């Protein structure tokens, strides 16, 4: 068990395009160790998702897990899942979701990001088995946020600039119903 430090905005690893995991690296001790570190660190940070670059390993891996977190009230419980070399495809006619996002690598800050609200994610797990799942609404936002990490992109790059806000100010000045908005008519 190892809880790793989480890299913060400004660390160059967060800006690298992460490398795919090779098939021969699945089920190795090194990958198993990375997955354990990711899961331990995610749980210690009370987060719903964490990517390998955020703990300094520039490879295309992310883990997700959620209980009924008040931070993402519409996410619902998510069983522990491991996504290796994930790729997403957005549905052709997708609504959009605008959600105030936060990030362990940008502590204290939130900002509204507009993204497609309906996508399919495909990846392999640590045994090389193909996994596929559809995500909608805020869950689709979270998936895209995590995939961005694998391409060196942070939510502050995508946030509507004037919505950037510290958590306390967000809670004070932005009513809850404006923190997550789904537009059915645009894509
Ligand atoms: Zn993040």
At 26-42, the pLDDT tens digits run 989 999 999 999 999 99
Q: Which two tokens stand for residue 26?
A: 């699945």
pLDDT tens digit sequence for 44-100: 999 989 999 999 999 999 999 987 655 555 566 778 999 999 999 999 888 999 999
Torsion of CA 146, 147, 151, 155, to 10 degrees: -50
- Give the predicted TM-score (pTM) of the model: 0.93
Q: What is the Å distance from ligand 1's center to 145 Cα?
A: 6
Active site (catalytic) residues: 146
Tell me the longest C-alpha to C-alpha distance in the chain: 51
Helix (H, G, I), strand (E, B) or coil at 29: helix
Distance 172 CA to ligand 1 centre (A): 23
Handedness of CA 174, 180, 184, 187 (dihedral sign): positive
Cα(92) to centroid(ligand 1), Å: 26
């Amino acid at each position: 068990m190892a809880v790793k430090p989480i890299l913060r905005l400004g660390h160059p690893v967060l800006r690298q395009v992460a490398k795919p995991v090779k098939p021969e690296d699945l089920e190795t001790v090194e990958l198993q160790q990375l997955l354990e570190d990711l899961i331990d660190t995610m749980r210690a940070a009370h987060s719903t998702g964490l990517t390998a670059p955020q703990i300094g390993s520039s490879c295309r891996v992310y883990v997700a897990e959620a209980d009924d977190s008040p931070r993402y009230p519409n996410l619902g419980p998510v069983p522990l899942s491991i996504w290796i070399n994930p790729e997403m495809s957005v549905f052709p006619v997708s609504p959009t979701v605008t959600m105030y996002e936060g990030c362990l690598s940008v502590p204290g800050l939130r900002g509204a990001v507009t993204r497609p609200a309906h996508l399919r994610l495909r990846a392999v797990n640590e045994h090389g088995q193909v996994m596929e799942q559809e995500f909608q609404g805020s869950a689709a936002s979270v998936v895209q946020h995590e995939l961005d990490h694998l391409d060196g992109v942070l939510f502050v790059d995508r946030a509507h600039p004037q919505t950037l806000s510290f958590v306390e100010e967000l809670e004070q000045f932005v009513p809850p119903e404006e923190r997550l908005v789904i537009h059915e008519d645009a894509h």
